[in-house]
Structure 1
Amino acid sequence: MITNEGKFKYTCTRCTKQYDERKYWTAHYKTVHMQYKKKRTHPCVICKEQLKPALRWRHMEERHGWQAPTCPDCGKKFAYPWQVSAHQREVHNRLENLTYMCDECGAKFPSKERLKSHQIKHSDVKNYKCHKCSKAFKTITYLKQHLVRHSKVKRHICDKCGTAFVNYKDLYAHTIARHVTEKNFKCQMCPKAFKTQKLLKVHEKIHTGDKRHKCPMCDMAYVQSNNLKYHISRNHPDVVILTVKQPKLEP
């Protein structure tokens, strides 16, 4: 529709919400109202949990300890080995003149457009704002994934207890915390073991001395963010609000 001022307004036909830009209307409609006719999931070959193909590699690595098919050139991970071959043909082998290099990480690209798209990862600019809360995101993809939380449609159901969740990430965290008891990921430097590879990697930083969580008020540094929070609450209580870890915006 066009307003009296001559500006376009994109109105949702399902709930009458209005947006100034078409991309926000599209993101709203797809995440809130669009229903999928088919459940596009496949069972895990080990535990039979229903998984989306794009999330298969993460599940196999963190739940079962299987190394995901990985591109040796850029480290990108895939659900199936054939996807690695296709990726290498399309992205690496075919692109001979990689003349545009990222100043932040050294990655090379065949065009300015590809380089600019990559540099969004290093930028702090977040132009895609959520119309329901104060959060903002670097890309439209991250915004779409965030809008699912506002929809309150819980499509992801735990097959163990029936608890439903808005997204797969929350379901996975619930499954690990409530239903997984085996600790198959063992530390090579001490007797400790963990439920997931991610938890093991966090623990291994204790042995490597990777203290990346630094106090802004003194020279103390810690391996884990929780230890830094405790330090600040005990020694610098006036600045706790400035250093509390913010929720991760990008999935």
Structure 2
Amino acid sequence: MQVSNATEEEPFTCPICSSAFSEKSMLKIHKRIHKDEKRFKCDLCSSAYSRNSHLINHMRSHTGERPFTCEVCNTSFALSAVLKRHVRIHTGEKTVSKAKNPTQLPRPKPFKCEICDRCFADKYNLKVHAKIHSGEKDYVCEICQTAFSQNSHLKKHRRIHSGERPYICEECGSAYVQSSNLKRHMLVHSGEKQFTCDVCGNAFALKFDLKTHMRMHTGERPFTCEMCGASFAQNSHLTKHIRRHTGERPYVCGFCGAAFAVSSSLTNHTRIHTGERPFQCDVCAAAFAEMSSLKKHSRVHSGEKPYSCSVCTFVCAHRSSLKKHMRTHMRDKPSFMEYAI
């Protein structure tokens, strides 16, 4: 026999599980849990919910609405619960304590990784972190089969294929796949460069950019290819290099299906379909799809000839012209390879 938990403050009791509520309407909502009644249905997909509030939260997955914003870093979220969990990154706090003493401070980041001793504010973040060690990657791209340990990483990756760039600069219209890239870009407009190189005096807006720049002076190449031993100063350069071994081409054209190993190649290729020519000559107004094409064209006006023959005094504006010229020497010199460009 079920024991009622009803009190004067909560007189309405569930006949199935004895949960008590202060209002009859709350009891009515609660009963749907037992009946599995889901009368709030999404008009855009087949999802259904027992509460209207749950449907409202779900609809944000379609609309992209993120009404809950972090006051520290301005990151936005669709759910208030997710914002609360995010805020703990800044505060270092765990879940709000339900201890009787409200002045008792919560113990910071109590969930510890057994492998690397890194600590987290909640079990969820620890679980996500653990996948780094286990190599578990449950979220797979249906287009290129690249796998990720977190669903959020897969969502960002999908923008490579869709071309979606939801984060737009209000100053110049530049668009980005990730909010962090937009924040970094905004420093270009502010002009603030507080991180200065002690060796050459170059200044940078981000400490990370200064750290990367310093490798030019130190020669440090901490990112090494496990397949051939080649090393790189930046992890992004290693990622691009590895695709030479794997043949991976994750950047797919939405118009014709052509695939590329580097995102910039896809951007340049897409302009074949759109006809976009964003790089314009200041002298004659000729426009080009790629910056490299504009640089080559500019030499027509400047007279610059940066390519010189190592055999004779011939100079030219383009590498292709130099290669063509070198063939004239190859006819006379079988050991032409010693003059390789």
Q: TM-score of the superposition, structure 2-length normalised?
A: 0.40
Check whether the contact 1:102–1:108 (CA below 8 A) recurs between aligned residues.
no
Instruction: Please show how residues 157-168 of structure 1 align to structure 2 within 5 Å.
Output: 157-168=252-263
| Change in CA separation of 1:220 and 1:136 when aligned onto 2, cut-off 3 Å | farther
Q: For residues 202-241 of structure 1, what are the alpha-carbon distances to aligned partners after superposition, in whole Å with 9 as ceiling and x for unaligned?
A: 2102211222222222332222211111111223564457
Which of 149, 155, 158 is residue 39 of structure 1 equivalent to? 155
Task: Give me the CA root mean square deviation.
Answer: 4.9
Q: What is aligned with 2:11?
A: none
Which of 186, 192, 201 is residue 84 of structure 1 equivalent to? 186
More off after superposition, 118-127 vs 228-237? 118-127
Gaps of 5+ in 2: 1-132, 137-145
| Change in CA separation of 1:209 and 1:86 when aligned onto 2, cut-off 3 Å | closer
Gaps of 5+ in 1: 1-10, 15-31, 44-48, 58-65, 70-77, 245-251
Check whether the contact 2:309–2:326 (CA below 8 A) recurs between aligned residues.
yes
Q: For 2:232 and 2:299, locate their aligned partners in 1 and report how far apart those are by CA, in whole Å.
A: 29
Q: What is aligned with 1:28?
A: none
Q: For 1:208 and 1:141, locate their aligned partners in 2 and report how far apart those are by CA, in whole Å.
A: 34
Q: For 2:209 and 2:260, locate their aligned partners in 1 and report how far apart those are by CA, in whole Å.
A: 35
Residue 122 of structure 1: how far off its partner (Å): 5.8
More off after superposition, 129-138 vs 213-222? 129-138
Q: For 1:200 and 1:213, locate their aligned partners in 2 and report how far apart those are by CA, in whole Å.
A: 17
Q: What is aligned with 1:205?
A: 299
Check whether the contact 1:232–1:240 (CA below 8 A) recurs between aligned residues.
no
| Change in CA separation of 1:219 and 1:204 when aligned onto 2, cut-off 3 Å | same
Query: Which structure has the larger Rg over C-alpha atoms?
Result: 2
Q: Which amino acid aligns with 2:269?
A: H
Q: For 1:68 and 1:143, locate their aligned partners in 2 and report how far apart those are by CA, in whole Å.
A: 26
Check whether the contact 2:212–2:234 (CA below 8 A) recurs between aligned residues.
no
Q: Say whether 1:138 aligns with 2:240.
A: no
Percent identity over paired residues: 23
Q: For 1:205 and 1:140, locate their aligned partners in 2 and report how far apart those are by CA, in whole Å.
A: 34
Residue 163 of structure 1: how far off its partner (Å): 2.6
Q: TM-score of the superposition, structure 1-length normalised?
A: 0.51
Aligned-partner SS, 1:40? helix
Instruction: Please show how residues 151-190 of structure 1 align to structure 2 within 5 Å.
Output: 151-176=246-271, 178-181=272-275, 183=277, 185-190=279-284
Larger relative contact order, structure 1 or 2 (CA cutoff 8 Å, min sep 6): 1
Give the total of aligned pairs.
189
| Change in CA separation of 1:163 and 1:239 when aligned onto 2, cut-off 3 Å | same
Instruction: Please show how residues 68-147 of structure 1 align to structure 2 within 5 Å.
Output: 80=182, 83-85=185-187, 92=193, 95=194, 98=196, 101-103=198-200, 106-107=201-202, 117-121=212-216, 128-133=223-228, 135-147=230-242
Q: For residues 82-127 of structure 1, what are the alpha-carbon distances to aligned partners after superposition, in whole Å with 9 as ceiling and x for unaligned?
A: 84249958x62xx4x95x5334xx4258xxx987742423677756
